[in-house]
Structure 1
Amino acid sequence: MTTTRHPDARPSVSDPTGPPGAGRRVVAELLDLALLALPLTVGALLVDTLADADGGGQTDRVVFGGTAVLIALGILVWNRGHREGHTGASLGKHWTGLITRDRDTGHPVGTRRALLRRGTDVVTTRTAAHDHFTPLPPDTGVAALRRRRLLGLAALTVLLMLVLLASVAVGARPMSFAEVYHALIVNDGAETDIIVHSLRIPRTLLALLVGIALGVAGALIQGHTRNPLADAGLLGINAGAAFLVVLSIYLFGLSTPAQYLWFAFAGALTASVVVFGFASIGGGKSNPLSLALAGAAVAFFLQAMTQTIVLLDQTSLDGYRFWVVGSVAGRGMEVLWQVLPFLLAGTVVALASTPALNVLSLGEDVARSLGTNIVATRVVGIAALTVLTGAATAACGPIAFVGLIVPHIARAVTGPDYRWLVPYAGLLGGVLLVLADVVGRIVVRPGELQVGIVLALIGAPFFIALVRRRKLVSL
């Protein structure tokens, strides 16, 4: 004998299939709208502070207002489309215990139908569990992974173009779109043409190349040391560059980045060679642990020597403070042309070493059984990241967090395949560094905030979140 429930009857307390209350659905919608309102509110505040009366310009307002709108659209597609369409719950619905499903079949609806709200039904998580609701499993096939990687590269390329245009258009001197177009296309020597070609384009290109170099170097060093918290400072590269910069200022009275660039580069290379040599003492070969220990020891020693010179000489202190903060401002095409060959050579070697690094990530015993020369692979990889980081540090000073952050973001899209991870990390590094430079020109206008400080403000919360994760990315 079966019993039926009258349609108008209220479900009992133990009945898990009751509909969600209206208040619960309203709260979920408000939470999702709050996520969209956050970037739009920040963008509106930025646009308001960039009024003409406050020293802003048309281009500044369009760039930052448009960025806020794009971020909000991205959150909408990810949260209300992809997440809700595949798992059944946006963040708001997840926090309030609700599930969106197909009205007829009870299955997930997919991204497009979740965005359009077509044929959907909202139930409680208890109802969904009672009806055996199952989220859509991620597509882990080879074709899907390749499609996701290619789409990511295309999106990164478009984003990079937009960021580069913003870097040329935004600055302490407000410009209109007509002035930017005139400077890029006509260039007849007007004031804005000179600003764009003599100041903004060189620093934009330098920020792009240095960001690519630091991103690629970060991916390499995390792969070779198998340490998800590793960056260039782990091998003492930054400390070696800083020591010879201070020494050149103290002994030779050098005062500009173009003058002490080669000293910084020599210091970075020397520190890397010393670290690699110390790591190889004893067993005759280096390993991730010995590299980390030797790098820490050399870095602490060089930092102590640098501080000694800085305390002895006020001129060295002033020059060191200007260099150590990390900046792409004040570097002309002369600096760019000097470091360009090293950045290009290091990038080519890094890309060529990615297949061997993939094999090495399987473990030294497996790599050796497959015929990989582990010592040669490590030497080539560390040489590439040393050249990249040394040239970048020599040109702009030590810039932290780029080599730490971007490999983790790239790995979330590409997986552990270094043939894709290294190019992704390079593009992400370029985008991040150029974007940080643009932000630094606006936040303390009419002055500028150095890119190293902006990246520290961005990177510190990311680093804390990374350390607090229960399970770090396995390398």
Structure 2
Amino acid sequence: MTQTVTPTEQKPRNRTREKLFDWKLLIGVVAVGLLLVVSLFTGVYDIFNGDFGLEMFAITRIPRTIALVLAGAAMAMCGLVMQLLTQNRFVEPTTTGTTEWAGLGLLLMLILVPNASLMTKMVAAIIASFVGTMIFFLFLRRVQLTSSLIVPIVGIMIGAVVGSVSTYLALVTNKLQNLGVWFAGSFTSVLRGQYEALWIVAFVAVAVFIAADRFTVAGLGEDIATNVGLNYNQVILLGTGLIAVATGVVTVVVGNLPFLGLIVPNVVSMIRGDDLRSNLPWVCLLGIAIVTVCDLIGRTIIMPFEVPVSLILGVVGAVVFIALLLRSRRNA
């Protein structure tokens, strides 16, 4: 039996397709592509006149640029999902303690199994970040907070406690320098053969896009989600798992990228609204663009030395965070 589709039934589908893929998105892709080309040809070593220019280009520049794409998109995407599930615009992995928990898992692995492989360290970081994020979500469900501004403060406090425990353990076990290197948030050490694990976050992005509608409904609250037949707890568990995987992988390979998941989703939602599926490509693009620009600044500002990208992101993110707080108070 064939089913005829009326023009009125086709119209919403066409609108959705135009909203997802339009000429503005194409311009954004081209602009980010140009930034990545600049990243490929920016550095101290002269790849055109050097003796091993082609080798250096393949070993360092290409892996670094790919890492910028994957890490930037992953952390921006994590912020978007986390803000949707918590119904709070001020949360992201670095304001909920998720990154600090990932660092604690990584440190425990360095202490207990010093010769562990990169994948083993990554698994430990993912498990720890999952546990920490679940603790944060459970806290939000059991404690009634009178203001949305309290939520990131609670997350930052939890992260500070976890970070203090990590610092103490690192000091006692003489791993403080290792901890500092891991949390530097820099792409300097990204080389061929050491960044490939970041491709895992590409699969996470695909999973988020597939489950986007469920996350959007869950973001309306537990009562509404349950009334429309959605398993709310299952969606929260899925979202937490995806956030933990992406945060754990990025933390192990690159380090801490503060406030990226806070800046990007808020900027995109102010312009385009709160639909996760249609915003996801823009969030990934803007996350890549911000990380790339900050990395280019870090590479050139005191050349031939480099400033960690986390330092520049921290300054920019702190300013945006304060601006969002002030904007929220004015709208209250």
Structure 2 length normalisation: TM-score?
A: 0.82
Of the candidates 330, 337, 340, which is equivalent to residue 196 of structure 2? Answer: 337
Q: Aligned equivalents of 2:313 and 2:138: distance in 1? A: 34
Task: Structure 2: give runs of 5+ residues left out of the alignment.
Answer: 1-13
Would the aligned equivalents of 2:186 and 2:309 in 1 still touch at CA under 8 Å?
A: yes
User: What code does the residue aligned with 1:419 have?
Assistant: R
The aligned counterpart of 1:215 is 76
Residue aligned with 1:173, SS:
coil
Relative distance call for 1:382 and 1:248 in structure 2 (3 A) is: closer
Q: Which residue of 1 aligns with 2:325?
A: 467
CA distance in 1, matches of 2:16, 2:109: 53
What is the distance in 2 between the residues matched to 1:210 and 1:282? 27
Question: Percent of counterpart pairs with the same letter?
Answer: 24
Structure 1 gaps of 5+ residues are 1-141, 181-188
Over alpha carbons, which structure has the higher Rg? Answer: 1
Task: Give, in angstroms, the shift of residue 399 of structure 1.
Answer: 0.9
In structure 2, C-alpha distance between the alignment counterparts of 1:239 and 1:350, rounded to whole Å: 23
Residue 82 (structure 1) aligns with: none
Preserved CA contact (<8 Å) 2:105 2:128: no
Provide closer, same or farther for how the CA distance between residues 473 and 245 of structure 1 changes in structure 2, counting only shifts above 3 A.
farther
- Please tell me whether the aligned partners of residues 410 and 421 of structure 1 are also in contact (alpha carbons under 8 angstroms): yes
User: Relative CO higher for 1 or 2, CA cutoff 8 Å, sep ≥ 6?
Assistant: 2
2:103 to 237, 242, 249: 242
Matches for 1:227-306 after TM superposition, within 5 Å? 227-253=88-114, 259=117, 262-273=120-131, 275-276=133-134, 279-280=137-138, 299-306=159-166
- Deviation per CA, 1:108-130: give whole Å up to 9, x if none: xxxxxxxxxxxxxxxxxxxxxxx
Change over 3 Å in CA distance of 1:313–1:472 after alignment to 2 = farther
Q: What is the aligned partner in structure 2 of residue 320 from structure 1?
A: 179
Distance change (3 Å), C-alpha of 1:149 and 1:228: farther
Shift of 1:282: 12
**Hey, what's the Cα distance between the residues in 1 that align with 2:41 and 2:71?**
20
Q: Give the Cα separation in 1 of the matches to 2:135 and 2:320.
A: 33
CA RMSD of aligned residues (A): 3.5
Report the equivalent of 1:378.
236
2:35 to 149, 163, 188: 163
* Alignment pair present for 1:419 and 2:277: yes
Which residue pairs with 2:45 in the alignment?
173
- 3-state SS of paired residue (2:296): helix
Structure 1 residues 50-449: aligned runs within 5 Å? 146=18, 150-174=22-46, 179=48, 190-253=51-114, 259=117, 262-273=120-131, 275-276=133-134, 279-280=137-138, 299-314=159-174, 316-340=175-199, 342-449=200-307
Q: 1:363 and 1:425 mapped to 2: Cα distance?
A: 23
Q: Greater shift after overlay, 322-331 or 162-171?
A: 322-331
Larger CA deviation: 454-463 vs 204-213: 454-463
Tell me the TM-score normalized by structure 1. Answer: 0.59
Residue 417 (structure 1) shift: 1.0
How many residues of Structure 1 are paired with residues of Structure 2 in the alignment? 317
Q: 1:228 to 1:163 in 2, by over 3 A?
A: same
Change (3 A) 1:470 1:294: closer
Deviations for 1:81-129, whole angstroms, at most 9, x for unmatched residues? xxxxxxxxxxxxxxxxxxxxxxxxxxxxxxxxxxxxxxxxxxxxxxxxx
